[in-house]
Amino acid sequence: MPEPKEAMAHAVLKTKEEIHTMREGGKRLFYILQCLKELVVHGERSGAVLDEKAKELAKKYDGAPSFKGYKGYPANLCVSVNDEVVHGVPHDKVINEGDLLKLDFGFWYNGLCTDSAVTLPAGRCLKRDMKLIAVTEKALYAGINKAWERNQMGDIGYAIQSYVEGEGFSVVRELVGHGVGRDIHEPPQIPNYGSKKQGIALKKGMTLALEPMVNSGGSKVFFEEDGWTVKTVDGGHSAHFEHTIAITEGGPIILTKE
Ligand code: MF3
Ligand code: CO
């Protein structure tokens, strides 16, 4: 996810046909993430292996990984553990039993891309981490439920932030969700915080990657020396869920699911 910028360009609206293609790509991305999760459940603990599998699976599903080479990103998949929030580079990463693991993958399919992320425990993890996972996933759905035409961007951010803070956790503010489809990151930006009835109007044809990043402690994050890995300042654990959705006349449709 990009860092927030002041300037707000116009959203890239998609046709019904484009949304249909992204739905098909999103389904395939869902299966890819399911396979990667299965590998972890069955004991895979190497980031490099997961990265290679992600690449193979993208090919198997007739598409390609989208992150590799984007602004110089060196891998196919993002693998982040514990206090790493997002954009962890999988090479040489050893995942330990009990780690809180985030897998984030972007997928090109027929010229359009979708983006999705999940958090899961590597084996058994702390009870507090399990709560963090559950709250972050619910926060994503709280945001998606506000993605209706005639609502505003702040309605999404407010729904996410108020739910997360009510559960005693914090939302990351230095990174945001984004438009997605013809490019990996498109306008508009989607903060995981905000106020009701603020921000740009939501429109039919928007395809958006909503991605709450939720910290167990404080909300502050920093970038590691590798230029990619984002970590919590206080060392608290962080969870991340992401879906690509489309706003239609009949409400939000999740594209990155079965
Ligand atoms: N899923 C991340 C995002 O939402 C991926 C960006 S990593 C990059 O924006 F490598 F592509 F930059
Ligand atoms: Co994203």
Interval between CA 175 and ligand 1 midpoint (Å): 11
Ligand nearest to the CA of 69: 1
Is residue 1 scored above 90 in pLDDT? no
Q: Which residues pair with 221 in a beta bridge?
A: 232
Is residue 3 scored above 90 in pLDDT? no
Determine the residue of 87, 116, 213 to mutate for testing ligand 1's pocket, defined as the one with the most ligand atoms within 8 A of the Cβ atom.
87
Q: Which of 198, 202, 236 is nearest to 216 (CA)?
A: 236
Interval between CA 42 and ligand 2 midpoint (Å): 27
- pLDDT, mean of residues 164-192: 98
Q: Which pLDDT value is given to residue 92?
A: 84
φ, ψ dihedrals at 223, nearest 5°: -95, 130
Contact call for residues 33 and 103 (beta carbons, < 8 A)? yes
Residue ranges per structural domain of the chain? 3-254
Give the model confidence (pLDDT) of 116-162 as tens digits.
999 999 999 999 999 999 999 999 999 999 999 999 999 999 999 99
Is residue 191 scored above 80 in pLDDT? yes
Interval between CA 164 and ligand 2 midpoint (Å): 19
Is residue 186 scored above 80 in pLDDT? yes
β-strands 177-179, 207-210 pairing: antiparallel
| Whole-structure pTM value | 0.96
Interval between CA 108 and ligand 2 midpoint (Å): 13
Ligand nearest to the CA of 76: 1
Instruction: Round to whole Å and give the CA distance between 146 and 135.
Output: 17
SS3 for the chain is: CCCCCCCCCCCCCCCHHHHHHHHHHHHHHHHHHHHHHHHHHCCCCEHHHHHHHHHHHHHHCCCEECCCCHHHCCCCEEEEECCEEECCCCCCCECCCCCEEEEEEEEEECCEEEEEEEEEECCCCCHHHHHHHHHHHHHHHHHHCCCCCCCEHHHHHHHHHHHHHHCCCEECCCCCEEECCCCCCEEEEECCCCCCCCCCECCCCCEEEECCEEECCCCCEEECCCCCCEEECCCCCEEECEEEEEEECCEEEECCCC
Q: Which pLDDT value is given to residue 250?
A: 96
Interval between CA 186 and ligand 2 midpoint (Å): 10
Is residue 60 scored above 60 in pLDDT? yes
**Count of other CB atoms within 10 angstroms of residue 207:** 28
Instruction: Round to whole Å and give the CA distance between 87 and 92.
Output: 14
Q: Model confidence at 4, in pLDDT bands (50, 70, 90)?
A: low
Atom of ligand 1 nearest to the CA of 116: 1
Q: Which pLDDT value is given to residue 5?
A: 61
β-strands 112-121, 177-179 pairing: unpaired
Ligand nearest to the CA of 103: 1
Q: How far apart are the first and last CA of the chain?
A: 23
Instruction: Round to whole Å and give the CA distance between 174 and 240.
Output: 14
Q: Which residues of 57-68 are buried (b: 16+ CB within 10 A; e: fewer)?
A: bbeebebebbbb
Give the model confidence (pLDDT) of 129-141 as tens digits.
999 999 999 999 9
Interval between CA 249 and ligand 1 midpoint (Å): 28
Is residue 224 scored above 70 in pLDDT? yes
Domain 3-254 is of which CATH architecture? Alpha-Beta Complex (3.90)
In this structure, which residue's CA is closest to atom 2 in ligand 1?
A: 1
- pLDDT, mean of residues 201-229: 97
Pocket lining for ligand 1, CB < 6 angstroms: 1, 67, 70-71, 73, 78, 87, 104, 106, 115, 117, 184-185, 209, 211
Instruction: Round to whole Å and give the CA distance between 76 and 54.
Output: 7
